[in-house]
């Protein structure tokens, strides 16, 4: 099995990077040889995942938070659509938000997570695809595996990522604090939503979330029945 690892070196305040010798030893114990790729900027994980998948890797492990996992999943799905070949996704969670991994009930210890990945049989999970207008006014699209949302959550995510306390305090506390602050500032948006073939719903909303997983925002359970 060809195994690749996409590492976000600043995830979780750089915890995985600081302890990389131990992490690498655990990877070798469970998988033998592997190839490591590190991200440098937003969007890198997607591109690295595409490259690994198109190079014939069987498993790509996303080592980081929800952002890293989401980008890697998006890259693998893009590669599958292009090549028809499936590359499996594994998660080594470490970051401000690890909500998808939390919903899967993954253990917190690195060796325990890698042992579970090595012994597990791959299974299919749902993924969503969203089309949107990006910050530059261009039409864009991407896949998501946990939750896609619009409105207040976007402002909160940006505030969390810019907060100097990121990685130094509880993710849930940081997300909660930034949510309160951004909610006070936020102006509700006029939104028109159509679900399947239903009648459109028009309303002024602070947040709209499409949930495949149970959690977002550092452990806030907004979809308790999601599986």
* 108-163 per-position pLDDT tens digit: 899 999 999 999 999 999 999 988 888 899 999 999 999 998 888 888 878 887 88
CA distance 225 to 227: 6
Q: How many domains does the chain have?
A: 2
Same domain, 99 and 39: yes
User: Which of 100, 119, 138 lies at the terminal end of a domain, its last residue?
Assistant: 119
**pTM of this structure:** 0.87
Residue 183 covered by a domain? yes
Same domain, 162 and 108: no
The first and second tokens of residue 169, run together, are 């305090």
Mean pLDDT score, 197-223: 90
Residue 174 covered by a domain? yes
Same domain, 104 and 154: no
Counting every residue written for the chain, the total comes to 227
pLDDT digits (tens, 9 = 90+) for 4-57: 999 999 888 888 999 999 999 999 999 999 999 999 998 999 999 999 999 999
Q: Report pLDDT for 184.
A: 86
CA distance 132 to 139: 6
Q: Report pLDDT for 174.
A: 80
Q: Is the pLDDT of residue 67 over 70?
A: yes
Higher pLDDT, 90 or 177: 90
Residue 137 covered by a domain? no
Higher pLDDT, 72 or 150: 72
Instruction: With H, G, I as helix, E, B as strand and everything else as coil, classify residue 221.
Output: strand
Same domain, 98 and 170: no
Q: Is the pLDDT of residue 170 over 80?
A: no
Q: Report pLDDT for 167.
A: 66
Same domain, 96 and 10: yes
- Residue-range definition of the domain harbouring residue 33: 3-119
Q: Report pLDDT for 28.
A: 98
Same domain, 19 and 107: yes
Same domain, 113 and 151: no
Higher pLDDT, 88 or 186: 88
| Maximum separation of any 2 CA atoms in the chain, in Å | 55
Same domain, 9 and 113: yes
Residue 7 covered by a domain? yes
User: Which of 104, 119, 134 lies at the terminal end of a domain, its last residue?
Assistant: 119
Mean pLDDT score, 194-204: 91
Same domain, 7 and 115: yes
Q: What share of the chain in percent tops pLDDT 90?
A: 63
Beta strand segments in 51-195, E? 59-64, 88-93, 128-133, 139-144, 147-151, 189-193
Residue 127 covered by a domain? no
């Amino acid at each position: 099995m060809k195994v690749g690892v996409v590492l976000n070196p600043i995830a979780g305040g750089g915890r995985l990077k600081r302890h990389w010798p131990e992490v690498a030893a655990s990877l070798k114990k469970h998988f033998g040889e592997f190839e490591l790729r590190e991200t440098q900027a937003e969007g890198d994980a997607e591109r690295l995942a595409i490259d690994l998948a198109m190079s014939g890797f069987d498993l790509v492990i996303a080592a980081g938070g929800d952002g890293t996992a989401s980008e890697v999943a998006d890259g693998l799905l893009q590669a599958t659509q292009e090549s028809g070949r499936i590359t499996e996704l594994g998660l080594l969670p470490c970051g401000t938000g690890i909500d998808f991994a939390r919903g899967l009930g993954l253990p917190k210890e690195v060796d325990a997570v890698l042992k579970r990945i090595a012994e597990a049989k791959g299974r299919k999970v749902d993924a969503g695809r969203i089309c949107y207008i990006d910050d530059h006014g261009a039409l864009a699209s991407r896949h998501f595996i946990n939750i896609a949302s619009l409105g207040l959550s976007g402002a909160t995510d940006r505030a969390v990522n810019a907060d100097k306390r990121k990685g130094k305090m509880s993710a849930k506390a940081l997300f909660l604090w930034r949510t309160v602050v951004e909610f006070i500032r936020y102006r509700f948006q006029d939104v028109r939503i159509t679900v399947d073939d239903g009648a459109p719903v028009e309303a002024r909303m602070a947040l709209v979330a499409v949930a495949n997983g149970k959690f977002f925002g550092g452990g806030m359970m907004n979809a308790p029945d999601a599986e």
